[in-house]
Amino acid sequence: MKTKLTRQQITALRAFLGHKGNLSERMDAAIDACRSPAYHAAMLVYRTECAVRRDLQQASDDIPVPVTERVPGSPELRTWLGKEWSRIVEIAQKRDAARAIPETRPLMDRMEDQVRSEFRAAAREAGYRRAKSSWAGGDHTVSVKMVTKGYEFAAGGSERVWSSNGKWSGNNSIHSYGVSRRWRLDVASKGLALVNGCLTLRAEPVDADELRPGEEAYEILYVTQGRGFALETKEAILYRRKGTEWSRATSLAGARRRVAGAGQVTVTSEARP
């Protein structure tokens, strides 16, 4: 039996699906959509006043910023959105598979098993929070789904469980990931599976025309720790020069400055053949 969605869930899901950005940015847009019309009206006035001041080349520091309105139940809403997004992606993948030309399943199955196995191994080394309990709960589950490149995701949450005698309660943690079949080739084989304790979901080489001699850089999507057991994804540039370690930054120029200042990030996984 399907559970009827609340007005808040419908509002959040529409904003989530309509926003262009990574999973974390979509989550923020969904929560923001659930705030009251009065709050949005106040923010519109604030942004308009700031824009007018900028056009007039006037300072806008004296304009009071509206206090961010709290959305009741936002942690639970974020968890629900993560699960709903996983379900939507899975449906989209099944539809794509139904329209695609059938592939040789035995070979494809073996390749996907290898991707899942290597990704799970990297996930075990990552430093994300997991449930721990000696009374009730404490189990941790890792789910790895195969998705089309560009649909990579990471989500985390928990479920409450009770001891066998019903006296104590605890939590089990759940981490769900979506990676493409090319993950071993594009990420793991280059030694980028785990960077400073954070999993890399996708890595694309930066155009060689943008690089200087001796430089190497990738545009990556990686996983960070969210609130509680939640996981978030972020985009960054991973960069190094010959003789230096990897550095992660929001832009190629920022990565170059970081390396110049010796603020480097070490890659803890080894390249696979």
| pLDDT over threshold 50, residue 100 | yes
List all residues 6 or more positions away from 268 whose beta carbon is below 8 Å from its beta carbon.
Answer: 125, 194, 195, 196, 197
| pLDDT over threshold 60, residue 271 | no
| pLDDT over threshold 80, residue 243 | no
Average pLDDT, integer, range 70-83 = 90
CA distance 136 to 167: 9
pTM: 0.56
Cβ atoms within 10 A of the Cβ of 113, count?
Answer: 10
Q: What is the pLDDT of residues 179-229, one digit of tens each?
A: 999 999 999 999 999 988 899 999 999 998 999 998 999 999 999 999 999
* Tokens found for residue 262: 């010796």
Q: What is the pLDDT of residues 47-59, one digit of tens each?
A: 899 999 888 888 8
pLDDT grade for 129, boundaries at 50, 70 and 90: very high
Percent of the chain surpassing pLDDT 90: 49
Q: Where are the domains of the chain?
A: 103-260
Average pLDDT, integer, range 145-173 = 88
pLDDT of residue 263: 45
Helical spans, DSSP H, in 56-194: 74-99, 105-125, 183-186
